[in-house]
């Protein structure tokens, strides 16, 4: 009932399309409060570390869903991505999805993105990016690799126009995109390419919403 992360970790137009890891709009950290049907379930935090053209992005996710005061579902995810300019180099993630554990390693090679996952190994096309939500370049993609289980995800992105998005400190103008296919979610990026909101339906029909904590 509470396997929320199948949609979560899966995580094309206008000025944001040019933004990427090299010209990226983030400060040291980015934090979202996450809600299920309006009730808080945890936080999703990113940390960005720059060293010249190199970028390391660390992800920390902690969720807990309670039913009648008892934790019925718990999810933790830790990940690290390494980039050089706009080029993805490698990733390592560890996930505990309510007791089911995953470890994923991905590495750029001469043949493509070599992904090692619990179900085996696959070399994906060179341009394949991780499903982590922060990188606006994914709106121009049709294939991503799932940072939770390492699977290849095929999807389509539809631009839905500009909207005002509420954050913890006010409102921001943003571009709305709908992902459909193996990835199903609504994603918002501001004009600089900064991720500012996500909404999706979990497998139990509940609504998961990310609110930016600026």
How does pLDDT run across 52-95, given as a tens digit for each residue?
Answer: 999 999 999 999 998 888 889 999 999 999 999 999 999 999 99
- The fold for domain 5-212 equals outer membrane lipoprotein receptor (LolB), chain A (2.50.20)
Token pair recorded at residue 11: 């995580």
> What is the bridge-based pairing of β-strands 152-167 and 170-181?
antiparallel
pTM: 0.87
Residue 133 DSSP class: T
Residue 8: what pLDDT? Answer: 45
pLDDT in tens for each of the 214 residues of the chain?
444 444 444 443 333 333 444 456 899 999 999 999 999 999 999 999 999 999 999 999 999 998 888 889 999 999 999 999 999 999 999 999 999 999 999 999 999 999 999 999 999 999 999 999 999 999 999 999 999 999 999 999 999 999 999 999 999 999 999 999 999 999 999 999 999 999 999 888 999 999 999 7
Residue 68: what pLDDT? Answer: 86
Residue 214: what pLDDT? Answer: 73
- Return the half-sphere exposure (C-beta side, CA atoms, 13 A cut-off) of residue 131: 28
Residue 13: what pLDDT? Answer: 32
Cα 86 vs. chain centroid, distance in angstroms? 17
**Minimal CA–CA distance to 42: which of 16, 19, 81, 76?**
76
Residue 203: what pLDDT? Answer: 83
Token pair recorded at residue 96: 């505990």
């Amino acid at each position: 009932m509470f396997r929320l992360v199948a949609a979560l970790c899966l995580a094309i137009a206008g000025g944001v399309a040019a933004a990427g890891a090299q010209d990226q709009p983030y400060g040291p950290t980015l934090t979202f409060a996450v809600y299920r049907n309006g009730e808080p379930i945890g936080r999703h935090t990113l940390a960005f570390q720059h060293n010249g053209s190199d970028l390391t992005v660390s992800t920390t996710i902690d969720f807990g869903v309670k039913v009648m005061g008892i934790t019925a579902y718990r999810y933790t995810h830790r990940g690290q991505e390494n980039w050089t300019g706009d080029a993805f180099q490698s990733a390592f993630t560890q996930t505990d999805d309510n007791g089911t554990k995953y470890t994923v390693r991905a590495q750029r090679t001469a043949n493509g993105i070599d992904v090692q996952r619990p179900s085996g190994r696959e070399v994906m096309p060179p341009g394949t990016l991780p499903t982590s939500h922060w990188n606006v370049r994914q709106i121009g993609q049709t294939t991503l690799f799932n940072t939770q289980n390492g699977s290849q995800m095929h999807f389509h992105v539809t631009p839905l126009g500009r909207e005002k998005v509420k954050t913890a400190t006010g409102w921001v103008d943003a571009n709305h995109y709908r992902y459909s296919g193996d990835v199903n979610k609504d994603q918002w990026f501001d004009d600089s390419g900064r991720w500012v909101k996500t909404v999706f339906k979990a497998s139990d029909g509940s609504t998961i919403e990310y609110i930016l904590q600026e």
